[in-house]
Amino acid sequence: MNIILVMRGALTALWSAACLVATPALAITFGELDGNANPNVGALLVKDPYPDGPLYLICSGTLISPTVFLTAAHCVSWMPGEGIPADQVFVTFDSVFTNVSKTFQGTYHVNPKYRSNIVYKDDVAVVVFNKSIRRITPATLPPAGFLDALNVQGLLKDEQFVTVGYGDVLEDKTKGLQTSYFDGVRRNTNGTFSALTDDWLKISINPSLDDGGTCYGDSGGPHMLNGMVVSITATGDVPCRATDATFRIDTDWVLAFLEQFVTPP
C-alpha cells in the first residue's frame, strides 16, 4: 500500500469539505524530536477514497488500551452523518511516518454528543483496532475532576504540559507560518498552564515565553501531565503562537463515553 506524507491544504475532494469546518493541526511548534520518548503517541491515517489509494496523515492521538486509540472527533467526522468510512482509518506508532511504516487498521467511534458547529464541543473519538497492539504501553487516563482538584489547590499555576504530535514544524520565532515545513516526524514540546474551564484546558504556546505547542494538523494529540493524558488538541489561534485550546479528558461526560471502550480510573 502506498503512503503519502500530507502537506498543508485540502488533500483530495474528500477532504476539502472537511477543511471548511474543521482545522486539524499539522505541527509541533518550537519542540524537539520525540524519538522513543512517547511511543504510545501515533499518527492517524486515512485512505484515499480511490481503490488502492495511498494513506494520508491527518491527525495524532494516543494509545489508551491495547485496542483503543484516543483522538479528536473532528479528525474523522466534520458534520453529523458525514465523514470518512468508519473502518478506513489506520494508525502508525513509528516515530517517523514513511512508506514502510507499520500500520494498524481500526474502526472509529465518535462521541454521539459531538457537533462540529459548536466550537468542537465534545470533540473526542476513539479508534478500536482489529487486533491488540503489542509492545507499546498504553498511556493512562485521569480520574474525573483531576484538573479541577489541582486548580482548586493552586497547583496548576505555572504547570508545564507535554504536547506530542506529528506534522508541520515551526522553529523560527521571528517569522510566521511561511517558515513551517512537514516531515512526518513525531515531536514533543512543553506549554505552560493558562486557564481552565468546564470543557477546556488552555495552554500558553508563546515562544517569547519559551513555550511551544501545536499548529495545523496535531489535532487529537495528547497534552500530558506526569505521563497522564489530561486533554487533547482541538483548536487554537490562527498563527499558532499564543494559546492551545485543548479539550479536557477528565470530565464525567468524556469519561462516560470512553468507558464504553476502556475502563476509566
Q: What is the mean pLDDT of residues 110-138?
A: 88
- Measure CA 194 to chain center: 19
Handedness of CA 87, 112, 260, 133 (dihedral sign): positive
Q: Would the CATH topology of 3-23+38-129 be identical to that of 146-252?
A: yes
pLDDT number for residue 17: 31
pLDDT given at position 185? 87
**Which of 54-58, 131-135, 206-210 shows the highest mean pLDDT?**
131-135
State the DSSP string of 124-188.
Answer: -EEEEESSPPPS-PPPBPPPTTHHHHHHHTT-STT-EEEEEE-SEEE--TTS-GGG-EE--B-EE
Over residues 149-176, the pLDDT tens digits come to 999 999 998 899 999 988 666 555 555 5
Cell numbers standing for residue 66: 491495547
CA distance 87 to 143: 30
Please provide the average confidence, as pLDDT, over all residues in the chain.
Answer: 79
Find the range with the poorest average confidence among 23-37, 63-77, 165-179: 165-179
Least confident residue range of 133-137, 167-171, 222-226: 167-171
pLDDT > 90 fraction of the chain, expressed in percent and rounded: 46
- For residues 15-34, average pLDDT: 49
C-beta separation of 91 from 42 below 8 A: yes
pTM comes to 0.85
Q: Taking 70 as the threshold, does the pLDDT of residue 111 lie above it?
A: yes
CB of 168 within 8 A of CB of 27? yes
CB atoms within 10 A of CB 235: 22
Measured between alpha carbons, how far is 65 from 164 in angstroms, rounded to an integer?
A: 18
The pLDDT of residue 41 is above 90: yes
The residue ranges of every structural domain in the chain are 3-23+38-129, 146-252
Angle made by CA atoms 86, 27, 161, in degrees to the nearest 5:
95
- Which of residues 38 and 17 earns the better pLDDT score? 38
Q: Is 203's pLDDT higher than 70?
A: yes
Q: Which of 24-33, 109-118, 143-152 has the lowest mean pLDDT?
A: 24-33
- The three-class DSSP label of residue 259 is coil
Give yes or no for residue 207 having a pLDDT over 70: no
Backbone angles phi, psi at 33, to 5 degrees: -60, 135
237: alpha, beta or left? (left if phi > 0; alpha if psi -120 to 50): beta
Question: Which residues sit opposite 70 in a β-bridge?
Answer: 62, 126
Question: Is 97 a residue whose pLDDT tops 60?
Answer: yes
Count helices and strands in the chain by DSSP H and E runs: 3, 18
CA distance 254 to 125: 10
CA–CA gap between residue 126 and residue 236 (Å, rounded):
22
CATH topology of domain 3-23+38-129: Thrombin, subunit H (2.40.10)
Flag the least confident range among 1-5, 79-83, 139-143, 246-250.
1-5
Which residues have CB under 8 Å from 154's CB, separation 6+? none
Candidate CATH numbers 2.60.120.560, 3.40.1130.10, 1.20.1290.10, 2.40.10.10; the one for domain 146-252: 2.40.10.10
Q: Are strands 222-225 and 243-248 parallel, antiparallel or unpaired?
A: unpaired
pLDDT at 145 over 50: yes
pLDDT at 63: 98
Overall average pLDDT of the 131-159 stretch: 95
Percent of the chain at pLDDT > 70 equals: 68
